[in-house]
A = this chain, B = another copy of it.
């Protein structure tokens, strides 16, 4: 029983992180090979591999076959942003969520939208605009173009009850995307919709999925 306390990949990970942050291994340094580290830590190479792999995924190490593993020169800080469903975000605030569908029609998208969605210029898309409210007060305004070809079912879905976002999240295929954040001044129409003063700063999220 007991136990010889084996070395876990988390142990290795911790030790390696320590050596990086303590600058025992400096940026751009080549670190020992997996085999060497495995010998040093007294564990299997697979264990070292997993440790190094997770660290590399975090961006602190750069690995290349044959070349070896080196400490990243410019540790790109990565942050994981969780994009909640608006309903949950609002309910988490303790507010009551409602949403109102302002518009739902099919039309040819603008050129900018077509470019982002990589659509043929003949294709049309479903355009939705909606207002999400917390306790009856406008919280967010949504302006969405949906590529009907990619998600045929949405044409027949009833979006007055469930928001388009939620519908898509639960019904649609999933793929990578692209996101950009920005701050803009409220235009007059936006101000009206969101019930704020024109010129107030708004936080916008632009996504392509």
Contact = CB atoms under 8 A, between A and B. Distances in A.
Nearest to A74: B85
B76 A174 contact: no
A23 interface: yes
B185 A199 contact: yes
B77 A80 contact: no
A199 B201 CA distance: 8
Nearest to A54: B57
Interface stretch (A111-119, A120-128, A164-172): A164-172
Please classify the interface of chain A as helix (H, G, I), strand (E, B), loop, or mixed, using the class held by over half of its residues: mixed
A161 B181 CA distance: 30
Contacts of A27: 170
Contact of A174 (B17, B181, B183): B17
B79 A179 contact: yes
Interface in A143-200: 169-174, 177, 179, 181-185, 199-200
Nearest to A76: B82
Contact of A184 (B23, B81, B170, B183): B183
Q: Chain A, interface size: which category?
A: 35 or more
Contacts of A183: 182-184, 201-204
A171 B22 CA distance: 9
Contacts of A201: 183-185, 201-202
A78 interface: yes
B23 A60 contact: no
A20 to B, nearest CB: 7
A137 interface: no
Nearest to A172: B21
7 A-B pairs with least C-beta separation:
A183-B183, A21-B173, A183-B203, A201-B201, A183-B201, A77-B83, A79-B81
8 contacts: A22-B173, A75-B169, A75-B174, A76-B82, A79-B83, A80-B80, A183-B184, A183-B204
